[in-house]
Amino acid sequence: MKIRFVFITGIFAGAAFFSRAQVPLFTTEGFAVPQPGHAFLFPQDHGAHPEFKLEWWYLTGHLFSKDGRRFGYQATFFRSAAPDKSTQVYLAHMAVIDAKTGKFYYQERLNREGWDADVELGGLNVHNGPWSLRMTDTKNSRMELHGGVRADALFALDLFPAKPLVIFGENGVSRKGAEPTAASYYLTFPRLRTTGTITFGSETIPVTGESWMDHEISSSQLGADQVGWDWAGIQFNDGREIMLYRLRLRDGMADPASSLTWVDAAGTPKKSTFTWEVLARWTSPSTGAVYPSRVRITTMDPATKQETAFTLEPLAQSQELAGRIGGIPYWEGACRVLSADGHEIGSAYLELTGYAKDLKL
């Protein structure tokens, strides 16, 4: 059964409302709140912001071997401050999908702040156990990622921005809900040229491809009525990207703060309206959650000023991270982007949270 969710965002009305609202400096717990007009300073702002409650460095990518084998990967490093601000814990998720076999590998790690998990303040250098992400060349924002899933799939990747950093949101703040504190600083490298290796067992495969990296800093990601979100980072073959998030309310509707942003070839973001249509669903045997498994997105293309529709089609249905350690089950999967006539026009990573249980951050 297809259920069609159509929503038209009241972007302009919302923006007017938000701009009038007073943004507090701190949440009730005492954590910093993202402030409009914040002046970012790099490479420092690639590092940690412990005055905020929550922060993540989120890499997803599509890799190809010389003989055409296709892989998707996810490498996420979370920092989360204790409610009493006494300490921090670091959660990390790694996942690899082999498109040929459909085999999905994932692993979670949780460590308290200390010798086995840490994030630098002055620049990008995060590690959690044997996994790490470092900016090795701050001038060119070149990065190095070491990750893996147990000993089943290990990857070592060099990441080099093909486009400048994008700061999403209005005046440097990405809104997530009606509450003035529900906002983040949202920094993205939407296209990173990627080279390196993936090792499966004793087979090491040289790969090249493209990655997407988000660095998001906040103290309150979701409003009280929001139960989760759907997010997609779409890289079109024509050199443009889309970042969209759809914040879901308890009644199944989308929050007006939901957003779709086009990034043109030069790296300039531009918001647009969109519709989200679930074409198929998949039930997780692990958590029992029912996730959208094929989604059609319709939006206004700022280049053509025409409505355009495309479908996100997962490389495999089973790309759920069960959240056994951190308690957050979600689906994060590599997808093909298909045009209305069925041609592959890009690659995407789709993230679906709050389906197994309400997402609480």
Partner 1 sequence: MSASLTALFLRRITLRHWRTSPKQSALLVLILSLGVAVFVSIRLANHAAVASFENFTGTLTGQSDWIIRAPAGTLPENILPELREALGSRPVHIFPIVEATASPPPEPGAENRFGRPTYTLMGLDLVGITNLARPQDKPFYGHAADSVQTEGSDDFWNAVKATPWLWISRDFAPILPTTLKLVIDETVRTLPVSGAIPTAADAPRAPANLFILDLAQLQAITGKNGRLDRVEFLVESGPRIAERRAELQPILEKLGRSGERWIVTTPGARRDAAETMTRAFRLNLTILSLIALLVGLYLIFQALDGAVVRRRPEIAILRSLGVEESTIRRGWLCESAILGLLGGALGLLLGWAGAQVSVRAVGQTVNALYYTTTVNSANLTPVEIGIGLALGLITALIAGWWPAREAARTPPAQVLQRGAAPAAGHRIMRSLAAGAGFVLAGLACAQLPPLHFEAGSRFPFAGYAAAFLWIFGAGILCAFLLPPIARLGIGAGGRSAAVRVALGHLRKPSGRHRLAAAALLCAIGMTAGMAILVASFDQTMQGWVRRTLQADLYISSSGAQSASSQNRISAAAAHDMASHAAVAHAALLVAYPIEIDHIPTILSGVDLDDPAIRPDLPWIAAPALDDPIFDSSRGSLRALVSETFTARFNLGRGDTVRLPTPDGVKSVVIAGVFADYGNERGSILIARRQVSTWFADDTITNVSLYVKPGVDPDTLRAELAQRYPGLSLFTNARLRNEVLRIFHQTFSITYALEVIGVLVAVTGLGLTLVSVLLDRRDELTTLRALGFQRREIALAASVEGLAVSICAAVGGLVLSLALGWLLIHVINKQSFGWTLSYALPWRQLAALALAVSATGWIVSYGVGLWGADLPADREE
Interaction between residue 320 and partner 1 (CB under 8 A): no
Residue 85 interacting with partner 1 (CB under 8 A): no
110 contributes a contact to partner 1 by CB under 8 A: yes
Judged by beta carbon, residue 109 or residue 296, the one nearer partner 1 is: 109
Name which position in 51, 120, 152, 158 contacts partner 1 (CB under 8 A). Answer: 152
Q: Which is nearer to partner 1, 111 or 138 (CB)?
A: 111
Q: SS3 letters for 53-66?
A: CEEEEEEEEEEEEC
User: For residues 320 and 352, what is the distance between their CA atoms, to the nearest angstrom?
Assistant: 9
Q: SS3 for 283? A: strand
Task: Select from 45, 55, 98, 108 the one that contacts partner 1 (CB under 8 A).
Answer: 108
The conformational region for residue 208 under phi > 0 = left, psi -120 to 50 = alpha, else beta, is: beta
Check if the beta carbon of residue 320 is closer than 8 Å to that of residue 351. no
**Among the listed residues 53, 70, 93, 109, the single contact to partner 1 using CB under 8 A:** 109
Please return the burial class of 344, using the count of CB atoms within 10 Å of its CB with bins 0-12, 13-18 and 19+.
Answer: exposed
Contacting partner 1 (CB under 8 A), which of 146, 269, 278, 339?
146
Pick 156 or 165: Cβ nearer partner 1: 156
Query: Closer to partner 1 at the Cβ: 239 or 326?
Result: 326
User: Tokens in use for 231?
Assistant: 């997010």
**Count, residues near partner 1 per rule CB under 8 A:** 34
3-state secondary structure of 115: coil
> Which stretches within 191-235 are classed as H helix?
none
Please list every residue from 205 through 244 that binds partner 1, using CB under 8 A: none
- The yes or no reply on residue 361 touching partner 1 (CB under 8 A) is no
Q: Does 325 bind partner 1 (CB under 8 A)?
A: yes
Apex 158 CA angle, 154 and 159, nearest 5: 120
Return contacts of 288-292, CB within 8 angstroms, 24+ apart: 288/356, 289/320, 289/329, 289/331, 289/355, 289/356, 290/355, 291/320, 291/331, 291/352, 291/355, 292/230, 292/352
By CB under 8 A, residue 202 contacts partner 1 = yes
For position 129 contacting partner 1 by CB under 8 A, the verdict is: yes
Task: Kindly tell me which residue out of 11, 23, 89, 300 binds partner 1, with binding defined by CB under 8 A.
Answer: 89
Which residue type does 349 have?
Answer: Y
Beta bridge partners of 208: 64, 195
**Contact with partner 1 (CB under 8 A) among 3, 8, 40, 87:** 87
Tell which one of 20, 22, 67, 86 touches partner 1 (CB under 8 A): 86
Q: Is 162 in the site for partner 1 (CB under 8 A)?
A: no
Q: Which of 44, 132, 138, 308 binds partner 1 (CB under 8 A)?
A: 132
The footprint of partner 1 (CB under 8 A) covers: 82-83, 86-87, 89, 107-112, 115-116, 127, 129-132, 146-148, 150-152, 154, 156, 200-202, 324-328
